Structure formats: C-alpha cells, structure tokens
C-alpha cells in the first residue's frame, strides 16, 4: 500500500503562481488535446502524497503542463525530477521551475507513448524484482485518451520487466476518468469488472486513492477524475505471457452480458470449437454459465493455464484470430454474391 508521504521537504523560492504562469506564457488549454489544469497546490500536494515518501527519490512526471503537480513534487524534496511534456508551449514555464530548483530538473520535450524510459535513471537505483520497489516513481495527470493506452503499455512492461520496470517494481501514481479508475480497481462479482481490472490486478496492487471533482480543473472537464496508485506485484497472479493473458481476458469480456462460454468460444477455430471450449472450461473448472464479471482471478488463472497447455499441444491455436475468420467469411460471401449476379448482355 502507498504510504502517504509528507509535503514541503524543500522550499521553492518565490515564483509566479501557476495561474500567473498560464497568463504569462499564454497557455490556453487546448480542448482538442483534453488539457485540464490543476491550479490548487493543496490538491496537487495531496496527489503527490499518494506516491509515498519522495524525499531524495527519483521521479518522472508525465504531462506536467503548467507545472502545478511539478511544484508539489519538487516541494517533497526529490533528488531528480524528469519532466516529459509533449506540448512545446509549456517548456518555458517548466524551465522557470527548473531554474528555481537548480540541478534537480530535466525537461524532455517528447511523447510519453514513445519515450524510452530504460535509460532515464542512474543504474545504481536498480533493485531486484523481489526486493522493495526502487526509489523511482512515475506521477502524472495526463489526458484520458493517453492514460488508458499508456497504462496498458506499462502493464505489458511490468509483465516483461522492461521499460520503467527495468529498475524493479517502479510505482506509479496516475489520474484516470473516475469510471476507468473504478474498472481498474473493481472486484470480481461487481458489474464494473472488466478486461482492465484483470490485466491490472494480476500484475499490480491497484488502489483507488481519491476522487477529484471535475470543478477542481481549469477548464472543468465533463467527468470526475480519480487518482490511482500501482505497485507491481513480486509474483503476478497469472504466470503466463502478457499476450496470452490478454487474449483470454479479452475473449471472455467481448460478450459482457452473455455466459462466459460465449466469449471463450472465440479462442477456437470453427472446426471443433464446441468440443475445445468444453474441454477448456472443464479442465479449468469454470462453470460455463457464469457471466464474465462473476469470474474470479483464480478462474482467469485456470483458464490461462489450460489454454496455454492447449496451445502447447497445438501451436496453430495461439495465432488463431476469431475476428479475422469472420472477416474472411464475410469477404467470401460477398464474392459469391457478386459472381452469381446475372450478367447484362
């Protein structure tokens, strides 16, 4: 569990407020980029406290924008702060913050979705996976269109122990749309249980820390926001490759309202589908009439382990793609239709 850290371990010299920086550099939020800023430093302090003790820590902040969260991270007394910001308009304001905390801040004008974090921090910070997490934290309030694909990419990195997790079990404190945060932390049996819940909770301890009402942002977004903290687990709950777990979990949830049998069928080619689905469910000891949201983590583990054995016996199974089969069937049908049209003479 994240231990809320103390704020204000380091005092920044007097600076213009975040609101003044926005005016000074004309940083109007761009709606099409879903930019919503946090100006209240008590709130940004509260977000940063969810990351735990940050004194002398190494932190990467993603999407710092006008720098509200950045100030709170610096005030927590970090050793180094790496800022990754895609929008060039924010760089001068961030440089001003960097000058106020000499030698602590590195600014990268780039895209977090492609930025390689493997070399971002000194090697001596590396910890063994089984040890306590390294003194490296990722913190960010990103647009929702970026935070969801990013967490999926980082979960894959957790599973492969690469990217930011080359240093060990790097912790992340990130914001999401409230409903997405509820899915990330949903328990089995709850209607919110989804692909995101299983993919995140089988690899990490995931905590929904608190909700930030939409009106706390400038401009106010349509939705509320929640802060979520992730700590990678020493042992994933499902010990199979990321791609395999993702394939099984995705197939289960593609027909959310039906029995789980219906989604799992799509793992198998038409020829022998029923027999193989029955074999999978029986060996994994899963009642085929359960709905996807009623499945527990151990159901998913059994399904993944059994599917893995079936793929080992028949390697063509893993590359089988249900959607591709449907697409080809459709194409064949329309080809047949067009060739059987009477020709005009």
Contact 64, 57 (CB under 8 A): no
Query: Do you find a cis peptide bond into 222, omega within 30 degrees of 0?
Result: no
Q: Could you tell me the smallest distance in angstroms from the CB atom of residue 187 to ligand SAM?
A: 29
* Minimum CB distance to ligand SAM smaller for 73 or for 281: 73
* Minimum CB distance to ligand SAM smaller for 68 or for 188: 68
* Minimum CB distance to ligand SAM smaller for 90 or for 268: 90
Tokens of 87: 């929008």
Q: Could you tell me the smallest distance in angstroms from the CB atom of residue 91 to ligand SAM?
A: 11
Task: Tell me how far CA of residue 231 lies from CA of 153, 228, 329, in angstroms.
Answer: 15, 10, 44
Q: Could you tell me the smallest distance in angstroms from the CB atom of residue 112 to ligand SAM?
A: 4
Overall residue count recorded for the chain in this entry = 345
Kind of pairing, strands 58-62 and 80-85?
parallel
Q: Could you tell me the smallest distance in angstroms from the CB atom of residue 108 to ligand SAM?
A: 9
| Neighbouring residues of 314: CB distance < 8 A, sequence distance ≥ 6 | none
* Minimum CB distance to ligand SAM smaller for 113 or for 335: 113
Residue nearest ligand SAM (C-beta atom): 63
| Neighbouring residues of 181: CB distance < 8 A, sequence distance ≥ 6 | 208, 211, 226, 227, 228
Q: Could you tell me the smallest distance in angstroms from the CB atom of residue 145 to ligand SAM?
A: 8
In 161-296, alpha helices (H) = 178-184, 195-201, 242-253, 260-264, 273-283
* Minimum CB distance to ligand SAM smaller for 149 or for 189: 149
How large is the angle between the packed helices 68-75 and 41-49, nearest 10 degrees? 60
Q: What are phi and psi of 279, to 5 degrees?
A: -60, -45
d(CA 162, CA 105): 24
Q: Could you tell me the smallest distance in angstroms from the CB atom of residue 185 to ligand SAM?
A: 21
Tokens of 48: 């940063």
Contact 134, 125 (CB under 8 A): yes
State the virtual CA torsion across 142, 145, 151, 156 in degrees, nearest 10: -140
Q: Could you tell me the smallest distance in angstroms from the CB atom of residue 7 to ligand SAM?
A: 16
Binding site for ligand SAM (CB under 6 A): 33, 35-38, 62-66, 68-69, 84-87, 90, 111-113, 141-143, 146
d(CA 51, CA 108): 22
* Minimum CB distance to ligand SAM smaller for 64 or for 163: 64
* Minimum CB distance to ligand SAM smaller for 49 or for 169: 49
Contact 64, 71 (CB under 8 A): no
* Minimum CB distance to ligand SAM smaller for 59 or for 267: 59
Q: Could you tell me the smallest distance in angstroms from the CB atom of residue 233 to ligand SAM?
A: 27
């Amino acid at each position: 569990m994240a231990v809320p850290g103390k704020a204000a371990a380091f005092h920044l010299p007097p600076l213009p407020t975040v609101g003044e920086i926005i005016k000074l550099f004309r940083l109007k939020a761009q709606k099409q980029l879903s930019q919503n800023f946090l100006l209240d430093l008590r709130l940004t302090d509260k977000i940063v406290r969810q990351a735990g003790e940050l004194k002398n820590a190494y932190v990467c902040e993603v999407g710092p924008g006008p720098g509200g969260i950045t100030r709170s991270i610096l005030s927590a007394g970090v050793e180094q702060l790496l800022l990754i910001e895609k929008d060039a308009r924010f760089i001068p304001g961030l440089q001003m913050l960097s000058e106020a905390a000499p030698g602590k801040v590195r600014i990268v004008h780039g895209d977090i979705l492609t930025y390689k974090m493997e070399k971002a921090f000194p090697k001596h910070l590396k910890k063994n996976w089984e040890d306590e997490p390294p003194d490296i934290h990722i913190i960010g309030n990103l647009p929702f269109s970026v935070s969801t694909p990013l967490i999926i990419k980082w979960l894959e990195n957790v599973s492969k122990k690469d990217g930011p997790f080359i240093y060990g079990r790097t912790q992340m404190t990130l914001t999401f749309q409230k409903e997405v945060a509820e899915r990330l932390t949903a328990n089995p049996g709850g209607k919110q249980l989804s692909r995101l819940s299983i993919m995140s909770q089988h690899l990490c301890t995931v905590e929904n820390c608190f909700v930030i009402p939409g009106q706390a942002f400038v401009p106010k977004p349509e939705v509320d926001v929640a802060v979520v903290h992730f700590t990678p687990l020493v042992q994933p709950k499902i010990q199979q490759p990321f791609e395999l777990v993702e394939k099984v979990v995705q197939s289960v949830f593609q027909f959310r309202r039906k029995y789980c049998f219906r989604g799992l069928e799509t793992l198998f080619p038409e020829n022998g589908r029923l027999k193989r689905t029955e074999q999978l469910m029986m060996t994994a000891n899963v009642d085929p009439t359960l709905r996807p949201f009623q499945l527990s983590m151990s159901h998913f583990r059994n399904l993944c382990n059994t599917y893995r054995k079936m793929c080992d016996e028949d390697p063509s199974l893993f590359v089988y793609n249900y959607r591709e089969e449907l697409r080809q069937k459709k194409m064949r049908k329309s080809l047949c239709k067009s060739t059987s049209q009477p020709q005009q003479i």
